[in-house]
Structure 1
Amino acid sequence: MPLKTSSSKGGFSAALLRSDLTRFWPLWAAYTTVWLLAMPAAQFLILFRRNGIWALDDMPARRLEAVDAALEAGSGSATVFLAIAACLFAMALFSYLTTARSVGFAHALPVKREGLFLTHYAAGAAVFLTVHAAAALLTLAVWAAAGVTQFWAVGAWFLSVTGQMLFFYSFAVFCAMFAGQVLAVPAFYTIFNLLAAGLTWIFNALASQFLYGWAYSDFPDPVRWLTPVWALTDGVYSSTQLDANNDIIGYTFTGLPTVAAYAAAGVVLAALALAVYRRRASETAGDLVAIPWAKPLFRYGMGFCGGLLLGMALYSFLWNQFSGGAVSAPAMAVCAVAGGLAAYFGAEMLLRKSFRVVKASWRGAAALCAVLLLVCAGYGLDLLKVESRVPQADQVRDVYFQLYGQYSSLRGTVEDPALIERLTALHQTLVQERPAEDTDYSSGVDCYASVTLRYALKNGGSLSREYSFAYSAADLKDNTSPAAQMAALFREPGMQMASLGGDLNSIERITSGELEYYFNYQSGGYSQDAAPLDAKQARTLLDAFVRDVQAGHAGVDAMDADASQENDYVNALRIYYVPKADPSRRYQQDSDTLYLSFTTHYTELLAELEKLGLKDDLITTAELDRRIGVDSGEPGSVGVYEALDEDMLYVPAEEDAIGIIGGADGPTAVFVGGAEEEEAG
């Protein structure tokens, strides 16, 4: 029977604590240096350096920057640093458990197991608490000298980094209790930190490969919470505070409740680590896994996860190279079994420290293969009926949608029961018909569409699906086809307003606008400029655009390629505005742009453009094609969309700035920023 050597004498050991602090001083010194540089030293440079963004007498701006820097030091990349440092702390302080000589000596000391654990644990905790406190006090001294009064920011930093370090350190110590080799500690620590997100990603990847319509949805909240680095980097951050003029007046810090929850979990993990340590046998030093009941978990966990990961890699490398895009669950099953056997026997070799493992563990390997085959069959046969799952309209609270036609797109959220019912009807049609995804130009199927639906259900659940398919002009005449249903949705004012509503609701104040126009047409090229609009004109045009959308003038030709060519204007209306402050955003924008595309059906907008004398500057896609000779067959001729890809990437510069693009009969000058019209060549 394994022995648990420990003395009945002694608890906490001050001598052992001093030994830990002196023995691993380079690690403590490195940790101290990082935080002294990141906090008091960085704060001193921000507040007192003579060369920088602000002059030395511009102290208010420097103070704001100092507060922002202090809060940033408690989030983001700091979380990653703390996670790494905590693992190094645990590896150093509990490394004696990984060699027989060291663990035998330690357990022969007149100190109980509890005393040994608490002493080593306290050494690491004492270091990071002392370092954090010293960095905070020095930072406060620098702030006091510079007149910074937002001392709460230093307190927020201290609580954030201390709470996070407590959790990661306890987690690393917990992992160290299972490791019989020192390098196994970071391996177990990394695996357990990423296990939930990794498994979710694997199952998502398999589902997207084999289940029709499966969408990579957001990771569920439990998965985020079980992935500490992700949850803390995403949930702990600073954000700006703005005044009525959108000027920065301060900062807020979000996430301390999250840190507190993880700190409490850290205390629990420390207690669990002590419970495991009390039952850990000294003789397991040197084993990869030091706890007997954890060895099957390691063996089968490595086999299962390794089988799916290696299986997907083999499937992608071998099957996808020769299948022509066709999926095969049997092929995936073969690859998964091959990867699973390799991972399972590899784990067994590490545990047994021998290459002769097949005879002793083939039964476990057979059980693992059966599980992997069942998983692959479940995906291939859709045993859970995922593909056919379409929620009832009355069970849906709202739907986020993305519809992409040949040249048009819509995205937004609807709550109207009538629109939800039409979206679920489209979803049901896609599930039943499963239209082909690949275009077939020889048969006239040359248009492409895609649908993304994310349902928020009334019971608190969610459902996400993505579909893409090809269609022809004939499909638009069949009212029951997915293409025809999408075309009807594009023409629906409620859908158009849902797509536009998010942009409209974010506008605080319109500042100006522009209408792009084109001129100097030549074979294969043209010139481009923009007519400026003041705030009142931009507001008038935006209001007219909204009236057109509400009247059903938008999306008329969204799915009809030929009609889109004839009726879509290539001109774009740009509305510049100041966005509303959004407390949920970490950084607030000072300005933003609303890009509006329109067609010949927008009668309200066209009437307003005519009043401004701008209607004559409009040109449709088909007309631009004709003017630049896209169908002439001349060498160098290009289509309008190809031309736009190149020519619209101009950068407005100072007056008379000139950019040159190539044309079929020589270079064509493109003038922006008010340059005179001129031709070269």
Structure 2
Amino acid sequence: MKLRTSFFNMGLLKQDFKQHGWISLAYFVALIFIIPMNLLMIATNPKHHLYDSPYLSELIYVEFGLLVIFVIGASIATGMFIFRYLHVKESADAIHSLPVLRRELYFTHVISGLIMLCVPTWLTAIVTWIVYQLVPMSSRLSSSELFATIGVISLMSAVIYIFTVGVSMITGQFVAQGALTVILLFLPTGLMALIGYHLSLLLFGFSSTYLEANGLSYWSPLVRIAMIQEQSFDTSEVILYCILAIVFLVAGYLLYKARHIETATDTISFKLLKPIFRYGVTFCMMLVGGAYFVTFQQEVHGWLYFGYAVGAIGGYFVAEMVLQKTWRVFELRLVKGFLIYTIVIIVLVIGLNSDILGYETRVPELEQIEGAYYGSPYGLNEKLRNDQKAFENDPAFVESIRELHEKITTDQPKASEGGTESEESYTHAFIAYKLKSGGVLVRQYTVSTEAIEEQLRPIYESKIYKDDYYALDQLDIPADRMSIESAEYVLQKSVVLSDPLEIEEFQQLLKEDIYALRYDEMADSRKELANVSLLLSNDERSFFRIGRHYRGVEQWLEQKGYLSTIQITPEEVAYIEVARVTNQSNQWIHPEEIFGKVYSLDQRYEIESQIIRLEDQEDIAQALQLYGGYSGQEMYYVMFTTIKGKEFYGSFREKQLPAFMSNYF
């Protein structure tokens, strides 16, 4: 009885429901419309693409974006309104004058909020389950799947709510509580992403992409709940968030005990937290300012430092205005504080640029390396997450990667500042080592391809790299069906094969051709001959491209009579149009804009002379042989128009221009 009296008060609970029960009701109505009502609409429409779907992940997430918004919004709103009395002086004085202990106030309010959030969620789950049993759909919903998903949503809602309650203790303003809650919940992911991005600019070799690939989005509850659709929670995550909920609950209680009633209406309630707020805002705004200017100015470092200065000055004085609730903050004391901050940042930036820790030049010795990886950050992270072999210990492969790394760190052949190079002129080199000491050393570089071609060649031509890059293990799995389609989907030219012997023969030839590719052939930017889709015996799909140098496959297709079916011939093209683009900004341009098929609101380029139109069959044949895809920043663009009126686009690289181009440009 004593414990119940000390931690819980039924009168306060009833009062909370009288005042704020409308939040719970509105939340329940929203959930009903988003989940079971959607299910009913699907069930009464047999033509709906999800009508026969047995997967909750498809049904419950039909309006998933809206669901996330309401879950987050209701959780934050509940925490804000229940503890709103802390931000109004009269209410704070009245509540704390009652003969009720603070712990009783705190835990009763927390419990009432959890009830307001959990009851609508679980009622919605029950209604959803009932609806699914009654509607005339061919599949049935798994109860365990439904309630497991609702359980995770309830857990995340509770975490966000309890965190909001904690934030209400550190601020004395209702609006500030909402803003600070959203900012602080997103801060771990946002701040680390910003820091990673700036380190990649200041430290040659730092991989911000690896940081993102390595689960950076999991650091924010707001981002994580939005990712449930893509990545379900495992047991360790559930335990982690349960622990976080308890930590936030205890921290909120301790802050409540220490909070002074008279801090109502103050932006920050604790004196100790005010400098943290001031310099935290300054630092974040400095990073945002630097990122803004350097992004729009193509990573020119002069603009980076200008952005730092603008962001820091704005952030520092805006933070002080918020704290003092006035714009009259320009005084000597604050200027001194900003100068100290500036000196610290300058020292830090100089230290990073001078590489006093030897980060940029570090290359592990061979005897220190247990295994090495070359590829992409996301590929490495996926292998590690799925417990697959990520680091190869083949001596020749490891030595090739180390030689490449040594060449890059010695010469530092960076891509030009300003981003004016073509896509083929630079390489994104991602290198990772598993060290015998147990650590992992990761580096990523954007460097001139020409400067490291000699070191790239043995890596690209190795069996290890090709197995990983082209996912050749998929070719060892028997396939039930194979579709070979023209590289230009608009033409709708394809061949479908179901003969197991033919498919197996093709798979073997494709693997042999890929193993035989040389570095120069792998780097060929011309349009592929065709695309292949394999429906594997394990019900998975695998996709491959047939490049211009896949000689065995091309010969096999010709012998079988399939090549003429999928390949477009010059006779099928009525004419081509070619344009040379000059004075192009570093923004993506679609060829449709250039050839006037769509109207461009932003004239980001100029066309030299007129667009030329060619109908000669030899010119068309050359164009078909040499054209490639487009990244939106090429100089020469081509549009093919077939005799049936269909259009497709491409580009020409300066190293592979058709002979007829010299007659016109």
TM-score range (shorter-chain normalised) is 0.7 to 0.9
- Decide whether aligned partners of structure 1 residues 279 and 658 sit closer, same or farther in structure 2, where only a CA change above 3 A counts: same
Quote the Cα distance in structure 2 between the aligned partners of 1:300 and 1:515.
58
Query: Residue 307 of structure 1: CA displacement?
Result: 2.4
- Equivalent position amino acid for 2:465 in 1: M
Query: Residue 193 of structure 1: CA displacement?
Result: 1.0
Aligned residue number for residue 196 of structure 1? 188
Q: TM-score, normalised by structure 2?
A: 0.74
Aligned residue number for residue 179 of structure 1? 171
Query: Residue 618 of structure 1: CA displacement?
Result: 11
Deviations 1:114-138 (A, max 9, x none): 1211222222112122222322333
- Are 1:431 and 2:415 an aligned pair? no
Superposition RMSD on alpha carbons, in Å?
Answer: 4.4
- Are 1:170 and 2:162 an aligned pair? yes
Quote the Cα distance in structure 2 between the aligned partners of 1:610 and 1:435.
44
Q: How do 1:557-572 residues align onto structure 2 when only pairs under 5 Å count?
A: 557-558=520-521, 572=529
Aligned residue number for residue 89 of structure 1? 78
Aligned residue number for residue 299 of structure 1? 278
Contact 2:76-2:164 at 8 Å conserved across structures:
yes
Aligned residue number for residue 420 of structure 1? 398
Q: How do 1:313-462 residues align onto structure 2 when only pairs under 5 Å count?
A: 313=292, 320=297, 326-328=300-302, 332-333=304-305, 335-354=307-326, 355-393=328-366, 394-401=368-375, 415=392, 416-435=394-413, 437=415, 448-458=425-435, 459-462=438-441
- Equivalent position amino acid for 2:467 in 1: M
Quote the Cα distance in structure 2 between the aligned partners of 1:649 and 1:255.
50
SS at match of 1:658: coil
Query: Residue 499 of structure 1: CA displacement?
Result: 2.6
Q: Which of residues 128, 135, 142 in structure 2 aligns to 1:139?
A: 128
- Decide whether aligned partners of structure 1 residues 75 and 372 sit closer, same or farther in structure 2, where only a CA change above 3 A counts: same
Q: Which of residues 230, 236, 252 in structure 1 aligns to 2:223?
A: 230
Quote the Cα distance in structure 2 between the aligned partners of 1:83 and 1:579.
41
Q: Which of residues 20, 36, 56 in structure 2 aligns to 1:24?
A: 20
SS at match of 2:521: coil
Unpaired runs of at least 5, structure 1: 1-8, 56-60, 240-252, 404-411, 440-444, 472-480, 519-526, 582-587, 652-656, 664-681
Aligned residue number for residue 495 of structure 1? 465
- Equivalent position amino acid for 2:318 in 1: G
Aligned residue number for residue 591 of structure 2? none
Unpaired runs of at least 5, structure 2: 378-388, 579-609, 631-636, 650-665
Q: TM-score, normalised by structure 1?
A: 0.72
Query: Residue 572 of structure 1: CA displacement?
Result: 1.8
Aligned residue number for residue 586 of structure 2? none
Aligned residue number for residue 577 of structure 1? 534
Query: Residue 425 of structure 1: CA displacement?
Result: 0.8
Compare 264-273 and 388-397 and name the one that shifted more: 388-397
Contact 2:472-2:511 at 8 Å conserved across structures:
no
Query: Residue 227 of structure 1: CA displacement?
Result: 1.3
Query: Residue 176 of structure 1: CA displacement?
Result: 0.8
Aligned residue number for residue 275 of structure 1? 254
SS at match of 1:558: helix
- Are 1:659 and 2:642 an aligned pair? no
Q: How do 1:456-535 residues align onto structure 2 when only pairs under 5 Å count?
A: 456-458=433-435, 459-469=438-448, 471=450, 482-502=452-472, 504=474, 507-514=477-484, 535=499
Aligned residue number for residue 37 of structure 1? 33
Query: Residue 285 of structure 1: CA displacement?
Result: 0.5
Quote the Cα distance in structure 1 between the aligned partners of 2:423 and 2:62.
53
Quote the Cα distance in structure 2 between the aligned partners of 1:431 and 1:388.
5
Query: Residue 97 of structure 1: CA displacement?
Result: 0.7
Contact 2:494-2:566 at 8 Å conserved across structures:
no
Aligned residue number for residue 543 of structure 2? 593
- Are 1:98 and 2:87 an aligned pair? yes
SS at match of 1:452: strand
Query: Residue 88 of structure 1: CA displacement?
Result: 0.5
Q: Which of residues 31, 46, 56 in structure 2 aligns to 1:52?
A: 46
Aligned residue number for residue 58 of structure 1? none
SS at match of 1:466: strand
Which structure has more RCO (C-alpha within 8 Å, separation ≥ 6)?
1
Aligned residue number for residue 202 of structure 2? 210
Aligned residue number for residue 596 of structure 2? none
SS at match of 1:543: helix
Contact 2:480-2:537 at 8 Å conserved across structures:
no
SS at match of 2:345: helix
- Equivalent position amino acid for 2:26 in 1: A
Aligned residue number for residue 109 of structure 1? 98
Query: Residue 461 of structure 1: CA displacement?
Result: 2.5
Quote the Cα distance in structure 2 between the aligned partners of 1:29 and 1:618.
59
Query: Residue 486 of structure 1: CA displacement?
Result: 2.2
Quote the Cα distance in structure 2 between the aligned partners of 1:185 and 1:634.
59
- Which of structures 1 and 2 has the bigger CA Rg? 1
SS at match of 1:183: helix
- Equivalent position amino acid for 1:206 in 2: H
Contact 1:513-1:576 at 8 Å conserved across structures:
yes
Instruction: Report how many aligned residue pairs link the two structures.
Output: 573
Contact 1:71-1:237 at 8 Å conserved across structures:
no
Quote the Cα distance in structure 1 between the aligned partners of 2:304 and 2:485.
54
Quote the Cα distance in structure 2 between the aligned partners of 1:270 and 1:486.
54
- Decide whether aligned partners of structure 1 residues 286 and 580 sit closer, same or farther in structure 2, where only a CA change above 3 A counts: farther
Contact 1:202-1:308 at 8 Å conserved across structures:
yes
Deviations 1:607-654 (A, max 9, x none): 645643678999999xx99x9999xx9953574454876899999xxx
Compare 34-43 and 155-164 and name the one that shifted more: 34-43
Contact 1:237-1:254 at 8 Å conserved across structures:
no
Quote the Cα distance in structure 2 between the aligned partners of 1:353 and 1:635.
64
Quote the Cα distance in structure 2 between the aligned partners of 1:79 and 1:62.
23
Quote the Cα distance in structure 1 between the aligned partners of 2:113 and 2:300.
55
Query: Residue 178 of structure 1: CA displacement?
Result: 0.5
- Decide whether aligned partners of structure 1 residues 81 and 255 sit closer, same or farther in structure 2, where only a CA change above 3 A counts: farther
Deviations 1:310-329 (A, max 9, x none): 24435667xx49xxx7534x
Aligned residue number for residue 539 of structure 1? 504
Aligned residue number for residue 560 of structure 2? 612
Deviations 1:99-149 (A, max 9, x none): 211111111112111121122222211212222232233333334445946
Contact 1:489-1:495 at 8 Å conserved across structures:
yes
Query: Residue 263 of structure 1: CA displacement?
Result: 2.8
Contact 1:312-1:332 at 8 Å conserved across structures:
yes
- Decide whether aligned partners of structure 1 residues 313 and 629 sit closer, same or farther in structure 2, where only a CA change above 3 A counts: closer
SS at match of 2:142: coil
Query: Residue 172 of structure 1: CA displacement?
Result: 0.6
Aligned residue number for residue 474 of structure 1? none
Quote the Cα distance in structure 2 between the aligned partners of 1:629 and 1:158.
56
Quote the Cα distance in structure 1 between the aligned partners of 2:264 and 2:54.
51
- Decide whether aligned partners of structure 1 residues 506 and 128 sit closer, same or farther in structure 2, where only a CA change above 3 A counts: farther
Quote the Cα distance in structure 1 between the aligned partners of 2:118 and 2:280.
36
Contact 1:332-1:376 at 8 Å conserved across structures:
no
Query: Residue 544 of structure 1: CA displacement?
Result: 2.0
- Decide whether aligned partners of structure 1 residues 649 and 229 sit closer, same or farther in structure 2, where only a CA change above 3 A counts: farther
